[in-house]
Every structure is written in C-alpha cells, then in structure tokens.
Amino acid sequence: MHIPISCEFFPPKSDEGAAKLRAIHLRLAETLKPEYFSVTYGAGGSTQERTFTTVREIQMASSVPAAPHLSCIGSTRAGIADILDQYRALDIRRIVALRGDLPSGMRDPGDFRYANELVAFIREHAGDWFHIEVAAYPEFHPQAPNATADLEHFKRKVDAGANGAITQYFYSIEAYSRFVDDCERLQIDIPIVPGLMPISNYTQLARFSDACGADLPRWLRKRLEAFGDDMDSLRAFGHDVVVELTADLISAGAPGLHFYTMNQADSIIALCRDAGAQPSHNG
C-alpha cells in the first residue's frame, strides 16, 4: 500500500554520531523515499546548535527535505524569529512546532506559554512559507486536565494555522481511531499522522512512556518484561507488534506514517517491508 512516510532523528552529540546519522539518513532516503526527515529540539533549546547543524546537513546532502522541531517554552519572540529566518535561508519549508517542557532549573517560561501561540507567531512572522506540523496525543497529554480540554487545546493549534499533526506513539489502535473520530466531530480536518515507536529495549521504552504519558498496555509490558536479557527475542516480538499496528493503521486509512527512528535504519526498513508500507508522496 502506498503511503507517505516520514522519519524522526535526534541530533547526534559527537562527530562519530554525525557520521553514523549521515549513513542512516542516506540509506533511509534511498530505501523508503520519505516525504521528510524531522530533527528533534532539546528541552528549552538545549540542542539549538546541534539541531540546526543536523537539519542543514540533511537538507544539503539528502534528496529528502529536512523539517526541524522547534519548541517555544523558555524562548523569546526575537529568538524564535531569528531561528525561523535561519531556516528560511536554508529553504526549509516544514517545521514541527511544539511547546516543549521547561528543563528543570529553568524558571522563566519566556514569551510563549503554549504551542498554539508558537503556531500563530510563525504565521505572523513568515506567512505561509512553512508547512506547520503540531503534536497530537491520542492517549492525551499528561498535563491535560481531561480529554475534552486536551482536544480543545489541540483545536487551538489547528485554528492558529497548523497544516498537519504527528501523534505521540501508542500501541492501541483504538486510541488513535477514537482520537481521529473526536477530531472529525470538532471539524478538525488536518491529517493526523500516527507516530510509531519501534520496540527494541524494554527498560528504555518503559522510561520514555512513563515520562511522556504514552500508554504501554499491561499485556505488552508483561510480555516484554518476560524476555529479561534475551534482547533478540524481545526485538523479534517487538517487531511483530509494531508491524501489526502499522498494517492496521494503513488499513484504517491513516494519512501517513511517522517513525521515531532512534537514529536507526534497519528496524524501520524492516517494519515498512513487513507491514507492506510503500512510500508515496502527498506533495
């Protein structure tokens, strides 16, 4: 089945990591022909320089456009305007606009409180130059008071000018389908692309999931726990779980697939192959 694919990387910390990532994005570009590669932005702008360098490298070296993540909490309007101008000079056309989380110890939230304010600012500053993606949470954001409020807050980002959304990862397709249905009821008509996290390390996945509010269903936790140190069996099982989820999402009509690659290529290529996901561009 043809479906647009996008892949997310984090900016490497060393020259060695940068060389490794170069080989990975070139391989993914050739094999999966993704619509874009996105690059994360550390809390409070902590990776600002490395995100920029990685984005520039991908934009120059790969046939796939780069899309920087940009979080606004702790930032000033002037600082964000400066970053947007730098990306525009590189001919970057897509941004993943986020609130982010204030790093511990940082008290000043800066000029922005929520991601909808960043989306509005990007439109005010750069008009329609950027295609803006925002974050969506089928299992709801951990700080949201309730599901209804979280959906209304999501709608504010769309009303402010977001063109598309990428979800937090999940392992329950029902959560995604219900979220998409709820959005339709609220007349939210932007594509909501599911974010997919491969399973390769239980401890790391459990830590991430607890921190970001993604639900690891009990049956999945128990199965993963039972593999103990047997990483090969865990990875084989995790691969099957994510292949099934990916294939179900394609059948359910998901408008695209966004992979949290963890700067790996092989696992993502194998997932797409086994789930029958063939690349297509939607423009």
Interacting residue ranges for ligand FAD, rule: CB under 6 A: 40-41, 43, 69, 71, 96, 98-101, 114-116, 135, 141, 143-144, 149-150, 153, 156-157, 166, 168, 195
Task: Give me the catalytic one of 8, 35, 57, 117.
Answer: 8
Task: Provide, rounded to whole angstroms, the least separation between the CB of residue 271 and ligand FAD.
Answer: 17
The residue length of the chain stands at 283
Query: What is the Cα Rg of the chain in Å?
Result: 18
Task: Provide, rounded to whole angstroms, the least separation between the CB of residue 144 and ligand FAD.
Answer: 4
Identity of the amino acid at 170: F
Closest to ligand FAD by CB, 212 or 247: 212
Q: From CA 208, how far away is CA 202, in angstroms rounded?
A: 10
Task: Provide, rounded to whole angstroms, the least separation between the CB of residue 46 and ligand FAD.
Answer: 9
Could you say which DSSP state residue 45 is in?
G
Closest to ligand FAD by CB, 76 or 233: 76
* Dihedral sign from CA coordinates of 96, 174, 280, 128: negative
Task: Provide, rounded to whole angstroms, the least separation between the CB of residue 235 and ligand FAD.
Answer: 23
Give the list of residues 6+ apart from residue 78 with CB closer than 8 angstroms, or none: none
Closest to ligand FAD by CB, 175 or 234: 175
First to last CA, the chain: 17
Is 8 tagged catalytic?
yes
Closest to ligand FAD by CB, 143 or 204: 143
Q: From CA 273, how far away is CA 265, in angstroms rounded?
A: 12
Active-site residues, by number, are 8
